[in-house]
């Protein structure tokens, strides 16, 4: 409570405006918190799903590669790998959720097969190539989700701190200051009324005495 403010009508209106503004800010921040938490929970669910998909994709790619090595031999697979000419690129974009910038990751590959003659080779080599590409695409999406979750988590924490500060500190303080000013102003008005009444009674008193004296002389 701010007791340094003079108990005037202008200060009372000022504190009322500040209180309404604080309540409006609280409502907006509370809505922002709800939206951010909802988005965060959605991304967490997606991240759990993509984590499993990435692990399964990497496991499948490794298993396919191991099978190709068993069928063709490690040296031949290594030579085939040297013939593969694929370039990858990652483009970064962004989107915003309640003012929070979140990344968008797009993974692209250029280059198309066949990269080597099918004679004397196993289809497992092509399958392994495709599975590793799939795993890389999933990893790009996974990175996007993890960074988004980190940023949203920080913003949720900041928003919660602001909401709690308004709810537990700022708004109660403004309300107490408003009550203090209202009570002081009412007290001052009562004192002013009492003083005015006393002055009025004092001003009317001599007139009554003069009238009584005049009535006595006339008798």
CATH number of the domain residue 58 falls in? 1.10.287.3240
For residue 13, tell me if it sits in a domain.
Answer: no
| Cβ proximity of 102 and 125 under 8 Å | no
For residue 102, tell me if it sits in a domain.
Answer: yes
Among 211, 100, 204, smallest CA distance to 157 is for 100
pLDDT at 215: 54
Domain that holds residue 39: 28-152
- The Cα-based distances of 136 to 77, 146, 183, 214 in angstroms read 20, 15, 69, 114
For residue 167, tell me if it sits in a domain.
Answer: no
- The backbone torsions φ and ψ at residue 82, rounded to the nearest 5 degrees and listed phi first, read -70, -20
pLDDT at 13: 87
pLDDT at 48: 92
pLDDT at 51: 92
The whole model's pTM is what? 0.70
pLDDT at 219: 46
| Total domains present in the chain | 1
For residue 61, tell me if it sits in a domain.
Answer: yes
For residue 129, tell me if it sits in a domain.
Answer: yes
Provide the residue-wise pLDDT of the chain in tens; the chain has 219 residues. 666 677 778 878 888 898 999 999 999 999 999 999 999 999 999 999 999 999 999 999 889 888 888 877 878 777 776 667 677 778 888 888 888 899 888 887 776 655 565 556 667 777 888 888 888 888 889 999 999 999 999 999 999 999 999 999 999 999 888 888 888 888 777 777 676 767 676 777 655 555 555 555 454
For residue 181, tell me if it sits in a domain.
Answer: no
**Distance (Å, whole) CA 125 – CA 77:** 7
For residue 39, tell me if it sits in a domain.
Answer: yes
**What tokens were used for 7?**
């108990």
For residue 194, tell me if it sits in a domain.
Answer: no
């Amino acid at each position: 409570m701010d007791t340094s403010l003079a108990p005037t009508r202008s200060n009372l209106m000022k504190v009322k405006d500040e209180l309404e503004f604080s309540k409006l800010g609280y409502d907006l921040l509370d809505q922002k918190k709800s939206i951010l938490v909802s988005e965060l929970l959605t991304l967490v669910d997606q991240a759990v799903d993509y984590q499993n998909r990435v692990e399964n994709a990497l496991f499948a790619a490794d298993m396919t590669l191991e099978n190709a090595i068993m069928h063709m031999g490690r040296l031949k697979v290594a030579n085939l790998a040297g013939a593969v000419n694929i370039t990858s690129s990652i483009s970064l974009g962004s989107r915003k959720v309640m003012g929070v910038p979140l990344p968008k990751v797009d993974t692209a590959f250029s280059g198309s097969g066949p990269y080597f003659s099918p004679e004397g080779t196993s289809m497992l080599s092509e399958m392994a190539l495709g599975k590793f590409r799939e795993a890389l695409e999933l990893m790009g999406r996974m990175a996007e989700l993890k960074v988004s979750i980190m940023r949203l988590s920080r913003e949720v924490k900041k928003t919660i701190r602001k909401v709690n500060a308004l709810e537990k500190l700022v708004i109660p303080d403004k309300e107490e200051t408003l009550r203090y000013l209202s009570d002081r102003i009412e007290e001052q008005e009562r004192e002013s009324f009492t003083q005015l009444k006393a002055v009025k009674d004092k001003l009317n008193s001599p007139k009554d005495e003069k009238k009584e004296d005049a009535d006595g002389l006339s008798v």
